Amino acid sequence: MEGFFIAASNLPGNIFTILMMDNIGGKALLCCSLLLSSLSVFLIYLVKTKSHSLLLSCVFSGVSVMVWNALDVVGTELYPTHLRSSALGFFTGVGRVAAIMGNMVFGGLVDTDCAVPILLVSGLLLTGGIAALWLPQTKRTELT
């Protein structure tokens, strides 16, 4: 049942993204949702009860889907049209290799201490949110 709640919490994040992407822009949505994801993961580290853990997992799931949606839009807009499909294909491949390696490393880190992977993920999301501030603004600009 908990898995259902976590999966269902994606829906509000998707709806929010659809409604707000054109209003606030992909860059702002990406930065804000990365920072909120970082905060929600950090707060999971601090919880003491199963219900609080479920609640924060739902918050993380809803906010992280906004990150992926914004990343899809911003990632597409960053490259000129003639390079767009090649660049996205290359980075998708790199991301999949990194995901495999991340799962292997994450498993090893969980064996040492549960706090390490949680705080590491929170820190990486925070770093991504801050780094996204330096992305070019593509809202209402003509793509070439």
Q: Is 34 within a domain? A: yes
Q: Is 125 within a domain? A: yes
CATH of the domain at 82: 1.20.1250.20
- Report pLDDT for 2: 85
The dihedral region occupied by 32, where left means phi > 0, alpha psi between -120 and 50, and beta the remainder, is alpha
As a whole-number percent, the residues of the chain with pLDDT over 90 amount to 65
Cβ atoms of residues 2 and 56 within 8 Å:
no
What domain range is 105 assigned to? 2-134
- Report pLDDT for 60: 95
Q: Is 23 within a domain? A: yes
Residue 6 CA to residue 61 CA, distance in Å, equals 6
Q: Is 141 within a domain? A: no
Please tell me which residue, 28 or 112, carries the higher pLDDT value: 28
CA dihedral 43, 122, 92, 88 (to 10 degrees): 100
The band of 123, judged by pLDDT with boundaries at 50, 70 and 90, is very high
Would the pTM count as exceeding 0.95?
Answer: no
Instruction: Please determine, for residue 113, whether its predicted confidence score (pLDDT) is greater than 90.
Output: no
Q: Is 139 within a domain? A: no
Number of domains in the chain: 1
Cβ atoms of residues 44 and 98 within 8 Å:
no
Residue 76 CA to residue 68 CA, distance in Å, equals 12
The band of 31, judged by pLDDT with boundaries at 50, 70 and 90, is very high
Residues 6+ apart with CB under 8 A from 116: 109, 110
Instruction: Please determine, for residue 143, whether its predicted confidence score (pLDDT) is greater than 80.
Output: no
The dihedral region occupied by 72, where left means phi > 0, alpha psi between -120 and 50, and beta the remainder, is alpha
Specify the residue for token string 């490393």.
105
Q: Is 6 within a domain? A: yes
Indicate the DSSP class of residue 136: P
Q: Is 52 within a domain? A: yes
78, two tokens: 């960053």
Q: Is 144 within a domain? A: no
Average pLDDT over residues 3-27: 93
What digits encode the pLDDT tens for the residues 60-112?
999 999 999 999 889 888 888 888 889 889 999 999 999 999 899 888 888 88
